[in-house]
Amino acid sequence: MIMMLVELSHWCVAGPNRWHLEDFGYWYKPDGRSAAEQAEFERVEIKPQAFEWLFSHAAGRRFHFSADNLASDIGASESFKQNVVAQVQQFLSDGLPSRPALLIAALQEEFATEHLQAEEFTLD
């Protein structure tokens, strides 16, 4: 289930022009990234991980920030986590794009979860 939510979040960000590309045309560098490469990963992963967190919550699942760099000791940075929280808060404040909103509604119906509340998405 979790892997599917990751891919759905990338699909939502990619848009129709990239749906047919491998990994939806996302930049990818395997494990063992340098700090600079990890910073680039974090830059492009803010929106996908924000969507994944919303999807996870709607499915009644726990969300874990992913640094996707298992071969090194470089985990998800605090600034990355804060940026993801800020993006989630912005989505909830400004409204979600239609595809993620439809997925969240379907997940909430399937898993009988409550409406998304901004105060549920913090680093605490």
pLDDT in tens, 25-37: 776 666 677 778 8
Tell me how far apart the alpha carbons of residues 31 and 38 are, in angstroms, rounded to a whole number. 10
Handedness of CA 92, 96, 100, 106 (dihedral sign): positive
pTM: 0.89
In the chain, what's the furthest Cα-to-Cα distance?
42
Band (pLDDT 50/70/90 cuts) for residue 2 is low
